[in-house]
A = this chain, B = another copy of it.
């Protein structure tokens, strides 16, 4: 195994074992390199790799720190990876979202506050009846994220965020050319919101499932 890979494993070990805790500062590069028995260049490759996936936070002129290691932060790296997938796997990602999002929406029904409901309603109102594709994609993202965030499970929230981030969603909408796609989407969003306001978890789950299923159906037909 290359010394750089060893260094990655050792740094990982120091964090997992608790020797390095979230927020801790690492020894400076030259010292850590000496301690791990490799050159500064090779160590930097290890640090850079761990920094890409948000394990470490490198600040020029200051030092290198362990991040908070929050699920939200670590799963951010997921969207980076998801960007690489080819178009022909979009349907598989959508199928996973179809499993997760209805569950998250149902969980939100019991927890969402009146204030948050009003915020979501305001979003939909501002979007109007005939938004542009860019506005719709942004609004769609914001709407679902707002709901999922109140599910109370940060892992679930981050996972959905990563799986259906801006890039994926844009790819989906690029494939949706049907006339009534926009109006049906807006209608379904309002139905989900109404179910949440009624605290009806099952209705919310069903509307969320139907919402994603219809997107899936359109997409399957247009591929």
The interface on chain A, measured as residues whose beta carbon lies within 8 A of the other chain's beta carbons, has a size of 44
Question: Which chain B residue lies CB-closest to A83?
Answer: B16
Complex CA–CA separation, A130 to B210 (angstroms): 45
The answer, among B2, B53, B93, for a CB contact under 8 Å with A80, is B53
A156 contacts B85, CB within 8 Å? no
User: Shortest 9 CB-CB distances between A and B: which pairs?
Assistant: A49-B52, A45-B48, A92-B155, A99-B103, A49-B49, A74-B81, A48-B49, A92-B153, A96-B156
The answer, among B53, B93, B155, for a CB contact under 8 Å with A53, is B53
Q: Can you list 9 contacts pairing A with B, beta carbon distance less than 8 Å?
A: A4-B48, A45-B49, A52-B53, A69-B84, A69-B85, A71-B85, A99-B99, A99-B100, A99-B103
Question: In this assembly, does A55 line the interface, its C-beta being within 8 Å of a C-beta of chain B?
Answer: yes
B159 contacts A96, CB within 8 Å? yes
